[in-house]
Amino acid sequence: MAALTREEVLEIALLARIHLDDDEVDRLQGELSSILEHMEALRAVQTDVEPMTHAVPMALRLRADAVEPSLPIEEAVGQAPDRADDFFQVPHIIKSGK
């Protein structure tokens, strides 16, 4: 595997919601392909083990169902790049929504 096509780079950039200039796409195509090539060695390693998803084995601790104070509204929305009254404001998605 290893080498990424330009299309794949653009697909990944879309999934990650990152706008790339043309030369960024080109550069990343080369860099990512090169990095991925180094990862290829892993495929050959024999791994008949459980994936190590957590560094330290532990069970999830449970929190009591008690209400704690929320942030004041102004602290919650006060630094939004765009707002309308106490709402966050964003451009509307053009196609039909959820």
Partner 1 sequence: MTWEPVIGLEVHVQLATRSKCFSGSATLFGAPPNSLTDPVVLGLPGALPSFNRRALEMAITLGLACGCEIRARSRFARKHYFYPDLPKGYQISQYDEPLCEGGAVEVGGRAIRLRRIHLEEDAGKNIHQAGGRLSQVDLNRAGVPLIEVVSEPDIFSAAEAAAYMRELRELVRWYDISGGDMEKGQLRCDANVSLRPPGGSDLGTRTELKNINSFKFVAEAIEHEITRQAAILDEGGQVVQETRLWDADAGTSLSMRSKEEAMDYRYFPDPDLPPLEVDGEVLARVTSRLPKPRSAYRSSFTAAGNLSDEHIDYLTADRARAERYATVAGSEDGRLIANYMLQDPDGRLEAGHLKRLAELQRTATVSGNGAKQIIVELLRRGGDPDRIKDELGLAQVSDAAEIESIAADVVAANPSQAASYRAGKTALLGYFVGQLMKKSGGKANPQLASDILKKLLES
Partner 2 sequence: MSLHYQPVGELVRLVRTRQLSAREVVAAHLARIAALDARLGTFLHIDEAGALRRADEIDAELARGSDPGPLAGVPIALKDILVTRDVPTTAGSRILAGWIPPYDATVVERLRAAGAVLIGKLNMDEFAMGSSTENSAFFPCRNPWDLERVPGGSSGGSAAAVAAGLCAASLGTDTGGSIRQPASLCGVVGLKPTYGRVSRWGVIAFASSLDQVGPLARSVADAALLFEVIAGFDPRDSTSIDQPAPRLSGALTAGARGLTIGRPREYDLPGVDPEVKRAVDAALALLADHGARIRDISLPNSAHALPTYYLVAPAEASSNLARYDGVRFGRRPEGASTSLLEMYRRTRGAGFGPEVKRRIMLGTFALRSGYYDAYYRKAQQVRALIAEDYRRAFAEVDLVASPTSPTPAFRLGEKADDPMAMYLADVFTLSCNLAGLPGISVPCGLTAGGLPIGLQLVGRPLDEATLIRAAAAHERAAGPAPHPPEMAAS
- Of 23, 49, 85, 98, the residue at the interface with partner 2 (CB under 8 A) is 49
Q: Whose Cβ is closer to partner 1: residue 39's or residue 88's?
A: 88
Question: Which residues sit at the interface with partner 1, rule CB under 8 A?
Answer: 14-15, 17, 53-54, 57-71, 73, 76-77, 84-93, 95-98
Burial class from Cβ neighbours inside 10 Å (0-12, 13-18, 19+) for residue 32 reads middle
- Of 7, 22, 23, 52, the residue at the interface with partner 2 (CB under 8 A) is 52
Query: Is position 2 an interface residue for partner 2 (rule: CB under 8 A)?
Result: no
Please answer whether residues 25 and 9 qualify as being in contact, where contact means their C-beta atoms are separated by less than 8 angstroms: yes
Residue type, 78: G
Least distance to partner 1, CB of residue 26, Å: 23
Residue type, 17: R
Q: Which does 22 bind (CB under 5 to 8 A by kind): partner 1, partner 2, none?
A: none
Between CA 42 and CA 29 the distance in angstroms is 21
